[in-house]
Amino acid sequence: MKISNHTFRTVSMPLGMLIGALLCREMAWAEEVTDGWLTPMFIASMLFITFCKVDARKIRFSWMHLWLLLFQVVGSFAIYYALSWSGIVVAQGGMICALAPVAMGAVVIGGMLGANLETMAAYSLLCNIFIAFFAPFMLSTYGNGECTMLQIMQRVAPMLILPFVAGQMCRWLTPKVSGWVANHSQISFYIWLMSLIVIIGRTTCFIIDNGENRAVQIILAAVALAICLLQFVVGRHLGRRYGDEVAGGQSLGQKNTVLAVWLSQSFLDPVSCVAPTAYIVWQNIVNSYQLYLKSKEE
């Protein structure tokens, strides 16, 4: 029986998460051998493929982008203080789930779901750069006070800005090459799937190796689920008002969890990283469900 491409995409994300969990030690070893550059290389390559389809001249910033940013800023403050009664670790975990910028892969998934790529690219650039300036203030106030803008930009630039510049240069200098890449942009999904397997593997290893404070970890995972659903719903509501429901939902709901986990481990209580770690699972379950609904429509 022939399996359609859409069916494969729907099933592949849960299957990828399962493979990552089962091969967690192997994935952790692969990350260690590459000195932590395996996931960034996957993300940068898939974004280059996607950005070959994006015409920079069509990128426009809109009021939707500003509302999404405002929600992130206000939401990170509100969530921290709303959860502070349950302990600083839970408050920090919830805060970082709201504060984290949009995921690099959100442009890829958004494109599959029918979002406008220029809208997604504009918010990816705006949000990641803005958070690089704003996050040090939040992490200095509610963390250990050691975070700087340069540290965050060093993490963001290789995975976002460089692929964008390379994609636009390819469009300008070698339009035939960029055209071929754009016509085969489905490759970016499979690269993203490989990065998902690695990320889930690392996540599983962290949970296994940090078994203490199990009750706090369960609370952090539950908080991450609630925030994940809230951000997808609010994002889609804002996007609907400005004519691109999918772009709004992915821009606010799909987070750069790789960066969020690193920020938590480096500048907050390390246990708080369980929240963005769990967020990885929740957001990919949401993405799988959305792709399933999209395949039914088509």
Q: What is the pLDDT of residues 248-294, one digit of tens each?
A: 999 999 998 878 888 887 888 888 888 998 998 899 889 888 988 88
Q: What's the CA gap between 223 and 206, in Å, rounded?
A: 18
Residue 1 lies inside a defined structural domain of this protein: no
Residue 3 lies inside a defined structural domain of this protein: no
Residue 12 lies inside a defined structural domain of this protein: no
- pLDDT given at position 6: 59
Residue 13 lies inside a defined structural domain of this protein: no
- pLDDT given at position 9: 67
Residue 4 lies inside a defined structural domain of this protein: no
Residue 298 pLDDT grade (very low, low, confident, very high; cuts 50, 70, 90) = low
Question: 234 is written with which tokens?
Answer: 């609010």
For residue 9, give the DSSP letter: H
Domain count, the chain: 1
Instruction: Using a cut of 0.75, tell me whether the model's pTM lies above it.
Output: yes
Which of 170, 165, 152, 74 is closest to 121 using CA atoms? 165
Residue 191 lies inside a defined structural domain of this protein: yes
The answer to whether 68 and 248 have CB atoms below 8 angstroms apart is yes
Residue 188 lies inside a defined structural domain of this protein: yes
Question: 148 is written with which tokens?
Answer: 């700087």
The answer to whether 152 and 131 have CB atoms below 8 angstroms apart is yes
Q: What is the pLDDT of residues 67-123, one digit of tens each?
A: 999 999 999 999 999 999 988 999 999 999 999 989 877 888 888 888 888 889 889
Could you list the residue range(s) of the whole structural domain that residue 217 is in?
Answer: 21-297
Q: What's the CA gap between 228 and 244, in Å, rounded?
A: 19
- pLDDT given at position 1: 45
Residue 239 lies inside a defined structural domain of this protein: yes
Instruction: Report the CATH number at residue 25.
Output: 1.20.1530.20
